[in-house]
Amino acid sequence: MHTFRTLVLVAALGSGACAQDAGTLAGATRALGATDLKSIEFSGNGKWFQFGQAPSPVLPWPAFDVSAYTASVNYETPAARVQMTRIQVVEPGRARPAPVQQRPVQVVSGTNAWNLAPPPGAAPDAAPVPQPQVEAVEERTMEIWATPHGFLKAATANNATSEPVNGGGSDVSFTLDGKHKYTGRINAQNQVERVQTTIDNTVLGDTPVEITYSDYRDFGGVQFPSRIVRTQGGYPVLDITVSSVTANPAVDIAVPETVRAYTAPAVNVEMEKLADGVFYVKGGSHHSIAIDQRDHIVVVEAPQSEARSAAVIAKVKETIPNKPIKYLVNSHVHFDHSGGLRTYVDEGATIVTHALNRPYYEKAWAAPRTLNPDRLARSGKAPAFETFTDKHVLTDGRRSIEIYPIAGNGHNDAFVMVYLPAEKILAEVDAYAPPAGNAPPPATPSPFAVNLYENIQKLKLDVRQIAALHGPRVATLNDLRAFIGQRAATD
């Protein structure tokens, strides 16, 4: 008898439009119709921001105007596709190449992620093909379970715990995949107001993600926020005003065979000798320079990831045996050029970087690294820095390595190039990348490359080889002149 009465009471709470469960997981699940929602599509416009590519270590991620944004989510697969049309906003006073409209298509299905884009090297209007994005699975999966309905579904399925908050509502928490903790605020109106979680990043470690949902409206029978703001690593990455929502659309996302069959190749490292004791360390999209000093090695640039750094370090030590890597020179803070720095800290190298970057790295590297502990997280070594704001020289008493800020370059405010005066070699990245083959120079010269050339002229550097840390080959100063529409010089 007693058991029967309890069951009746539970049933009444679960199904009725009752005030008792307002602000709870059950209340929001019922009010937003999360149980019956198998898929959703929402569209709008606003801003997107390029995570990890701030123009200075003290500025937010740079903004793009988004004229069209559509996210299609299938909660059952689970799978999602995000399409947008965006173009970079050029900040007042910052010279950038003329922005080009981009139309990325980003997809995840289960444990596969891919983009749809023209093949690498093809014309921008070539037919898009699936391009595997193994490293994007974590973020895109998060995007599914951090939507309002996805959050409620995942919370219900993963034994969420709840804590009431003052003024009504509750904070609901659960853990996915045994490691990603989600916390969401459900307000007294049964709306998911905010979702917080973390994802892994090579520079920032456990990177905080916070998505704020506001101005809920009825979109043809489904309650959905009309504004979505997402921050990642402390700054906005998305700010969308939602204009339409469809409940339970067909979202059929098949994993392409080329994506399913893809396995990431091993990191490739190739050494090209530029001069005695100076090596161009290539083999991927991002290169480094290794310099054999009297009793140590200097490496310029630690791009991408620990995997790349580990492979580069192994190859450099094989080529230049029995010497420690004493210095790692960092060109700038963009994450594709700083993602491998921590491996060199663990290796015992001093990080040589513009003074503006040091506090950024110190703060970033102090963050927890529970999602994907790297070598430095395990060793706990303290980073050593050598910083500068003007010309800086590393020397072993024989060979000088000169480091110069690339002054006034719109790409980044704490941006350096490396010059070897004896060998007349310049190493730089993201100011100039020589085009492949006989590709013509851009119709409008890149202000980044023009500024690089002006810096070389102002500093009176006698450059014979430009070892660009992106691009297919070593270039000459005449190549750079041609690239910016200047006549060749006979020097």
Query: Which range binds Zn ion by CB under 5 A, 42-50, 157-165, 274-282, 328-336?
Result: 328-336
Nearer to Zn ion among residue 413 and residue 430 (C-beta): 430
Q: Are 161 and 173 in contact (CB under 8 A)?
A: yes
Nearer to Zn ion among residue 90 and residue 105 (C-beta): 90
User: Mask of contacts with Zn ion, 332-351, x by CB under 5 A?
Assistant: --x-----------------
Q: Smallest gap, in angstroms, from Cβ of residue 186 to Zn ion? A: 40
d(CA 1, CA 82): 53
DSSP-derived secondary structure for 7-71: HHHHHHHHHS--GGGTTSHHHHHHHTTTTT--EEEEEEEEEEE-TT--SSTTSPPPEEEEEEEEE
The sheet carrying 400-405 orders its strands as 392-395, 400-405, 416-420, 425-428, 465-468
Q: Are 235 and 49 in contact (CB under 8 A)?
A: yes
Q: Smallest gap, in angstroms, from Cβ of residue 330 to Zn ion? A: 11
Q: Smallest gap, in angstroms, from Cβ of residue 335 to Zn ion? A: 9
Name residues contacting Zn ion, limited to 375-434 (CB under 5 A).
Answer: 430
User: Mask of contacts with Zn ion, 92-131, x by CB under 5 A?
Assistant: ----------------------------------------
For residue 488, give the 3-state DSSP assignment.
coil
Query: Which range binds Zn ion by CB under 5 A, 10-18, 138-146, 331-339, 468-476?
Result: 331-339
Q: Smallest gap, in angstroms, from Cβ of residue 337 to Zn ion? A: 6
Q: Smallest gap, in angstroms, from Cβ of residue 411 to Zn ion? A: 6
Q: Which residues pair with 388 in a beta bridge?
A: 354
Residues in the interface with Zn ion (CB under 5 A) total: 2
Q: Are 156 and 182 in contact (CB under 8 A)?
A: no
Q: Smallest gap, in angstroms, from Cβ of residue 348 to Zn ion? A: 26
Single-letter code of the amino acid located at 64: F
Nearer to Zn ion among residue 365 and residue 448 (C-beta): 448
Nearer to Zn ion among residue 401 and residue 431 (C-beta): 431
Q: Smallest gap, in angstroms, from Cβ of residue 415 to Zn ion? A: 8
Count CB-CB contacts under 10 A for residue 491.
Answer: 9
Nearer to Zn ion among residue 112 and residue 338 (C-beta): 338
Nearer to Zn ion among residue 255 and residue 341 (C-beta): 341
Q: Smallest gap, in angstroms, from Cβ of residue 412 to Zn ion? A: 6
Name residues contacting Zn ion, limited to 423-452 (CB under 5 A).
Answer: 430
Residue number, nearest CB to Zn ion: 334
Q: Are 316 and 300 in contact (CB under 8 A)?
A: no
d(CA 445, CA 90): 16
Nearer to Zn ion among residue 198 and residue 305 (C-beta): 305
Query: Which range binds Zn ion by CB under 5 A, 295-303, 330-338, 393-401, 462-470?
Result: 330-338
Any idea what the Cα angle at residue 211 is, between residues 306 and 225, rounded to 5°?
Answer: 150
Name residues contacting Zn ion, limited to 224-243 (CB under 5 A).
Answer: none
Residues with Cβ < 8 Å from 56, sequence gap 6 or more? 356, 412, 413, 414
| Binding of residue 282 to Zn ion (CB under 5 A) | no
Q: Smallest gap, in angstroms, from Cβ of residue 95 to Zn ion? A: 15
Count CB-CB contacts under 10 A for residue 270.
Answer: 12
Nearer to Zn ion among residue 334 and residue 399 (C-beta): 334
Residues with Cβ < 8 Å from 49, sequence gap 6 or more? 60, 61, 62, 63, 64, 235, 236, 237, 238, 239
Count CB-CB contacts under 10 A for residue 137.
Answer: 17
Nearer to Zn ion among residue 213 and residue 448 (C-beta): 448
Q: Which residues pair with 39 in a beta bridge?
A: 74
Nearer to Zn ion among residue 30 and residue 334 (C-beta): 334
User: Binding residues for Zn ion, per CB under 5 A?
Assistant: 334, 430
